[in-house]
Amino acid sequence: MAAYKLIGKDFLPPDVIGKVTGRAKFAEDFRAEGMVFAKLLRSPMPHGLVRRVDAAQALAMKGVLGILTAADLPKVTAPAEPILTSEPLYVGEPILAIAAVDETTAADALDRVKVELEPLPFVLDPLESLRPGGANARTEGNVAAPNLKLQTLKWSARDFTAVREGELPRGKPAEEWHYGDIEAGFRQADLVIEESFITQALAHHAMEPRSALAYWQGGKLFLHGSTQSLAFSIPPLTRILGIEPANLHYVSENTGGGFGSKAAAYTQMAIPAFFAKKLGRPVMLRVSREEEHDFGRSRPGFQGWVKLGFRKDGRLLAADLYIVQSGGPYGAVNDFRNAGRHVSLVYQPLAMRWRGMPVLTNTPPRSAQRSPGETQTSIAMDPVIDKAARKLGLDRVAIRHINAPRSDGTIGPKREPLTSSFLPEALELGAAQFDWAAKQALSGKRTGSKVTGLGVGIGYHAAGNSGFDGLVLIRPDGKLYIHAGAGNLGTYSYAATARAAAEALGMPWERCEIVYGGTGRHVPWTCIQAGSNTTFTITRTNHVAAMDARRKLQEIAAREVGGEPAAFEVGGGRVFLKAEPAKGLAFAEAAQRAIALGGKYSGQELPKDLNPMTARSAAALAGQGLMGVAKDTLPRNGVIPGFCAGYALVEVDVETGQVEIKEYLGVADCGTVIHPKNLGNQILGGAVQGFGMALLEKHVYDPKYGIPATRGLATSKPPTYLDVPVNMRWAAVGKPDPQNPVGAKGAGEPPEGAAAAAVLCAISDALGGAHFGRSPLTCDIVLNAVEGRPQPFKPLDTNI
């Protein structure tokens, strides 16, 4: 492994001090002179048509400044999400906004707005929508997904009756793929098992609600928002707003979590922007927790079925997977597709078929959530793998290990290659550190009312991308300024990836500054800050930008000192002759020279392949120092898999159904570890969310009225300190990915699925292999199972 000065060492990201002192500014912490407040009137019903709005009384109130309705806003074509709607598609969808001088007056005014709504049929459970004659979530249809047109698809009565009670009906799918001959695989298999399953939808509930403040000045929009991405949010945002990127000054210094729900732009941020324009005053939209639940996005639930054929030694010969997705009203999620890719990768079946049906539901809009589709798949698949292991008499780690991809593994129907996979190593390291083999003796052991169970689970997400731009500047003060287009949502990857630039230039970290937090900071075009993408992608862009700066330093030094550029080395803030290190220039001098030289050296001439955003930023910085700027054209071939193996030990109280997680270990394959302390926080933080998915969190709806029960945090139940082990452990394989300059790949997403699956498997283990095919396993479900009582719902019932 390369000897790094910075990569792999802990450091202090620059925003931490602000976070512990309260100085860090989130969107709702900003104020603007003359600022007024918008408040939303939202739908009380899951689907309806606004027939009449009478706001006269509200608008006559002192202090009320105006109203914004769908009529004031650009129209969108279904199934796209409107900013305000006149056909609400879920409870809590914004219909109109009122602005007033203070928030209380705005709320009082809303009380006086009369809205007549005509209720329309609604659907919460995708299977209900697929029945012949079942309701559609939208007047225009019931099935849609990205790149799949909005349409109406129903299954036949025969499709529903062809299956056993509790088995997923499998009518014609909207999409499917396959490779190999699954029927032959099942014929050759020594064991074939089949299971239906359900994972429930749940809210992201990022801690910071998505408040936004907007005002206009000189035709330019100043917007303070809460998004994960900075640069990547600009194109969708300007599209929603209908303005040129040059006219948007977007500020997002700190984002209070997103987990996918704030990946880029979302329509609700446009409300204060349009309202501010209409009123000619700054408008703050302070989003409440209930609103964050309602329109702050959620993970789609799955109803699924899987059939697996194993050889005696545990090798998976054939897999057949069917996923029905509850897609919310806008269907904008790929989770159902990711499920198929997950199975094809994690278990490398020799033959596989995937079928998917993305159904629309009158529930909160969906978005990616930490390992979108993959976390649900971990939850669904790992317990089935355990079941197979038991039937085959195999160790549960061993059956995962034999199927796990090596670096020559493939993914998807086209059997795409991988950049690297060290999942087998992660499983091995975990088994060793967890003492898996020795702990088997504890499995099923009862002490009083408590029974111990052990579980292992695998989380995965494609973690990286390429083709974005990097931008660094060495200023005459001799410092290296690394411009970060990534957002700052708590993963610190905007900072850790910056170290790849410093590393490439041998620059002491104290003399580096990361420039981030808003478009006003002149940032390069950068990948989405989501899906564990940044680490792989931005270490590459920062590397190529730094290498560009390095070349320019060498050239300038060659001019000044004489000799070939290649004869020069950079390091310690200097560029110097390798043979005679005393001869050279300090970066400060080189920056002065670059300014004097102009042209490519100081950003007056730019590479042609840059994204326009990078070009704009670079132009704004031109002439201020020595600029390194480049598009990442480094070779890349294949999908970049990030993995996590989770190991859990639980105690199930068979008298109450309560589960206590006693021990947890997460082991990542994320390539080179670039920031150990933060990696630990990600692996364990992801695990906490996984525990929530395994044991507590879900969307609950009254089926008759279509109204949600779990809108607050007290009812959504994210895990607290007392619901997780008081000590948790993590480790990483640490083998470099060959297609990244520092060997890194993403790490943040896979820990959630790994932990959730490990806990669910451990519960089954404690209960002698009891299979639930469902999550979360709340204490009522566990207790009913232990007591041999029937569950109060059907196996595939959702939202309960």
Partner 1 sequence: MDASKGRSRSSHGLSRRAFIQGVIAAGAAVSSVNYLFRGNALGQGAGRGVAERLLTLTVNGQQRRVDVLDQETLLMTLRYKLGLTGTKIGCDRGECGNCTVLIDDVPVYACSTLTRIVHDAPITTIEGLAAPGGRLHPVQQAFVEELGPQCGFCTPGQIISAVGLLKVNRKPTRAEIAEALAGNVCRCGAYDHYLNAVQRATELI
Partner 2 sequence: MAARDMMPAFELLQPATVEDALALLKRRDKDGWVLAGGMDSLDWFKDRIKRPKAVVELGRIGALRGIRARGADLEIGAMTTLTEVERDATLRERYGLLAQAARRVATPQIRNRGTLGGNVCQDARCWYYRAGLPCYRAGGNTCYADTPTAINREHCLFEADRCVAVSPSDTAPALIALDARFVVRHAGGEKEVPAEEFFIGPKTDITRMTILQPGDLLTAIRLPAAWANAKSYFEKAADRNAWDFPLVNVAAAMKIEGGTIRQARIAVGGVAPRPLRLKAVEESLLGEQPGKEAAEVAAKAAVWGARPLNHNQYKIPLLANLVKRAVRSMA
Exactly one of 134, 257, 476, 508 binds ligand FES (CB under 6 A); that residue is: 257
Q: What is the 3-state secondary structure (H, E, C) of 193-210?
A: EEEEEEECCEECCCCCCC
Residue nearest to ligand FES (CB): 207
From the CB of 199, what's the least distance to partner 2, in Å?
18
Exactly one of 2, 19, 312, 437 binds partner 1 (CB under 8 A); that residue is: 19
Instruction: Tell me the CA distances in angstroms from 504 to 346, 444, 447, 570, one per residue in order.
Output: 34, 53, 56, 9
Tell me if 18 contacts partner 1 by CB under 8 A.
yes
Tell me if 63 contacts partner 2 by CB under 8 A.
no
Buried b vs exposed e over 516-551: b needs ≥16 C-beta within 10 Å? Answer: bbbbebbbbbbbbbbbbbbbbbbbbbbbbbbbbbbb
d(CA 293, CA 279): 28
Burial category of 191 from C-beta neighbours within 10 Å (exposed 0-12, middle 13-18, buried 19 and up):
middle
Buried b vs exposed e over 705-716: b needs ≥16 C-beta within 10 Å? Answer: ebebebbeeeeb
From the CB of 708, what's the least distance to partner 2, in Å?
9
- Residues 394 to 433 in contact with ligand FES, rule: CB under 6 A: none
The contact mask relative to partner 2 for 281-320 (x = CB under 8 A, - = no) is -----x-x-x------------------------------
From the CB of 207, what's the least distance to ligand FES, in Å?
4
Tell me if 442 contacts ligand FES by CB under 6 A.
no
User: Is residue 767 a contact partner of residue 453, using CB atoms and an 8 Å limit?
Assistant: yes
Exactly one of 7, 36, 67, 762 binds partner 1 (CB under 8 A); that residue is: 36
The contact mask relative to partner 2 for 687-706 (x = CB under 8 A, - = no) is ---------x---xxxxxx-
Q: Which is nearer to partner 1, 33 or 408 (CB)?
A: 33
d(CA 201, CA 362): 12
Buried b vs exposed e over 557-569: b needs ≥16 C-beta within 10 Å? Answer: bbeebebebebbb
- The alpha carbon of residue 335 and the mean position of all alpha carbons in its chain are separated, in whole angstroms, by 11
- Residues 479 to 518 in contact with partner 1, rule: CB under 8 A: 489-492, 518
d(CA 482, CA 14): 13
The contact mask relative to partner 1 for 371-410 (x = CB under 8 A, - = no) is ----------------------------------------
d(CA 762, CA 648): 7
Q: Which is nearer to partner 1, 45 or 694 (CB)?
A: 694
Name the token pair of 780. Answer: 């009522």
Q: 3-state class of 101 per DSSP?
A: coil
d(CA 285, CA 320): 47
Backbone region of residue 234 per phi and psi (left: phi > 0; alpha: psi in -120 to 50; beta: other values):
alpha
Exactly one of 59, 207, 770, 779 binds partner 1 (CB under 8 A); that residue is: 207
Widest distance between CA atoms in the chain = 86
Q: 3-state class of 750 per DSSP?
A: helix
H/E element holding 756?
helix 750-766
Tell me if 207 contacts ligand FES by CB under 6 A.
yes
Tell me if 149 contacts partner 1 by CB under 8 A.
no
The contact mask relative to ligand FES for 486-525 (x = CB under 6 A, - = no) is ----x-----------------------------------
792, interface contact from partner 1, ligand FES, partner 2, none, CB < 5-8 Å by kind: partner 2
Tell me if 720 contacts partner 1 by CB under 8 A.
yes
DSSP line for 337-370 = HHHHHHHHHHS--SEEEEEEEEE--SSSPB---S
Exactly one of 689, 710, 740, 798 binds partner 1 (CB under 8 A); that residue is: 689
* Residue of 585, 545, 595 whose CA lies nearest to 561: 585
- Residues 25 to 44 in contact with partner 2, rule: CB under 8 A: 39-44
Residue whose entry in the numeric block shows the structure tokens 């899906």: 531
76, interface contact from partner 2, partner 1, ligand FES, none, CB < 5-8 Å by kind: none
Tell me if 46 contacts partner 2 by CB under 8 A.
no
The contact mask relative to ligand FES for 462-491 (x = CB under 6 A, - = no) is ----------------------------x-
620, interface contact from partner 2, partner 1, ligand FES, none, CB < 5-8 Å by kind: none
Tell me if 76 contacts partner 2 by CB under 8 A.
no
702, interface contact from partner 1, partner 2, ligand FES, none, CB < 5-8 Å by kind: partner 2
- Residues 95 to 114 in contact with partner 2, rule: CB under 8 A: 103-104, 106-108, 110-111
d(CA 518, CA 225): 10
Exactly one of 136, 199, 238, 255 binds partner 1 (CB under 8 A); that residue is: 255
- Residues 621 to 660 in contact with partner 2, rule: CB under 8 A: 655-658
Name the token pair of 12. Answer: 């202090």
Tell me if 779 contacts partner 2 by CB under 8 A.
yes
Exactly one of 3, 20, 438, 714 binds partner 2 (CB under 8 A); that residue is: 714
Tell me if 721 contacts partner 1 by CB under 8 A.
yes
From the CB of 209, what's the least distance to ligand FES, in Å?
10
* Count of residues that bind partner 2 according to CB under 8 A: 52
Residue 15 phi, psi dihedral angles, 5° rounding: -90, -5
d(CA 192, CA 387): 11
H/E element holding 222?
strand 220-224
Exactly one of 5, 9, 178, 289 binds partner 1 (CB under 8 A); that residue is: 289
d(CA 150, CA 141): 6
Residues that bind partner 2 (CB under 8 A): 39-44, 92, 103-104, 106-108, 110-111, 286, 288, 290, 449, 655-658, 696, 700-705, 707, 709, 711, 714-715, 717, 719-723, 778-781, 783-784, 787, 789-790, 792-793, 800
Residues that bind ligand FES (CB under 6 A): 207, 257, 490
